[in-house]
Structure 1
Amino acid sequence: MTESGSTSGELVTVGRITAVYGVRGWVKVHSYTEPMDNILQFHGWWLRGEDGWEPLQIDGGRRHGKGLIVHIKDVDDRDLAARYCQRDIAISREQMPALAEGEYYWHQLEGLRVVSHFEGGEHDFGKVVRLMETGANDVMVVRGGKDGRERLIPYLPGEYITDIDLEAGVITVDWDPEF
């Protein structure tokens, strides 16, 4: 990081620049926000570089077809814009909107240990390595634990997710260890 004491732990990845668009410095952006154009409301973008995160200024952005395009400030050439492609976009954690009690951002759940008290015994499934959308519901990808397996556990609070304790770093699930 290069700005006022920021560290990558204070940043949240919200999208990725994927490809150039046109010849005047516009690029396509894949947004991880919901809805996708919420990414355009954030200020102070950071772009992952070879030596860490660097500030990125955009001076325009809009929906285009099924995606988004943005213009990088002072970049008016397709070849120069190409240098920004295939790189992650992040914002400072403080810019994330507050959530209601019992709601969590994916980045808060990633890295948490997942345990089950299925049939009276405690089972450690490992850690949440990522979450993914499936259409019907979100799914936690959990890897590690005593058996080293990867498990896909539906993220359904009240059904399979019985407790989330961010301070302790633990998600408790109602999940059969054999599954």
Structure 2
Amino acid sequence: MNSPASSVFTASSLPEDAIELGRFMDAWGVKGWIKVQPHSADTQALFETTHWHLQPPEEALARGFSAFTGCVSATVAEIKHHADGVVARLEGMSDRSQSESLKGVRIYVPRSAFPAPPEGEYYWVDLLGLEVFNREGHALGVVRDLMPTGPHSVLVLEYTDTQNDKPLLAERMIPFVDAYVDQVDLKARRITVDWGLDY
């Protein structure tokens, strides 16, 4: 650890239930703040967790990166929404050169550290991989992503289209709103929706 930001970090290991929530993009201002690119429109866990686990950028983006090696942890001093994004400052960071050295760093938080969501609300990471069935019991696919579209999110499902000679992976999108979603059962890893096979 030989960068200007090295005193900010503590060597650690990535928790087994760690979820990658975003990455550092670039310096913001001159006082150690850095732009954060969240992986989801749901940023509650980033804002309510004071300790982040950090890993270097992926190999393809890590050219010249020397802020740290392996996994480290850092304390979040300040975080806020700015314009259409998020900016944060880590404890011990006070100048632009420190934040510039962290470009591309990946941010992880243990799932166990997430605050409990309000009744009827869910974290996007908990919906990934759930099987989706309609009221008639037909399998519609598996949740691959949750796409924000302004007023609500859309479930992006992946399923195998067997109507052609060659089965193909296909996508189906369902608005994640009460009008279409009957039940989310996290224990059974199942979502029931009012949605036809031909929609």
TM-score, normalising length from structure 2? 0.68
Equivalent residue for 2:165?
Answer: none
**Matched residues, percent identical?**
31
Cα offsets for 1:99-119 (capped at 9, x unmatched): 34433221111111112244x
- Verify the 8 A CA contact 1:130 1:142 in the aligned structure 2: yes
Show the 5 A alignment for 1:24-173.
24-31=31-38, 32=40, 39-49=46-56, 50=58, 53-76=71-94, 78-118=96-136, 122-147=137-162, 148-157=169-178, 159-173=179-193
Please state how far the C-alpha of 1:23 moved relative to its aligned partner.
4.3
- Tell me the matched-pair count: 171
Query: What's the offset of the Cα at 1:60?
Result: 3.8
Structure 2 residue runs without a partner (length 5+):
1-10, 59-68, 163-168
Contact conserved, 2:41 with 2:148, CA < 8 A, in 1? no
C-alpha distance in 2 between matches for 1:17 and 1:138:
24
- CA, structure 1 residues 69+92, in 2 after alignment: closer, same or farther (shift >3 Å)? same
Q: Give the root-mean-square deviation of aligned CA atoms.
A: 3.1
Q: Take 1:103 and 1:61, find their aligned partners in 2: how far apart are those partners?
A: 23
**Which is bigger in relative contact order (C-alpha 8 A, separation at least 6)?**
2
For the 8 Å contact 2:48–2:115, the answer to whether it is kept is no
In structure 1, the gaps of 5 or more residues are none
In structure 2, distance between residues paired with 1:167 and 1:48: 30
Conserved 8 A contact 2:45-2:115: no
TM-superposed CA distance for 1:142, in Å, is 0.4
Deviation of 1:129 after TM superposition, in Å, equals 0.8
- What residue is the counterpart of 1:22 in the other structure? 29
Instruction: Decide which moves more: 58-67 or 137-146.
Output: 58-67
Maintained 8 Å contact 1:125/1:145: no
Q: Residues of 2 paired with 1:161 and 1:52: CA distance?
A: 41
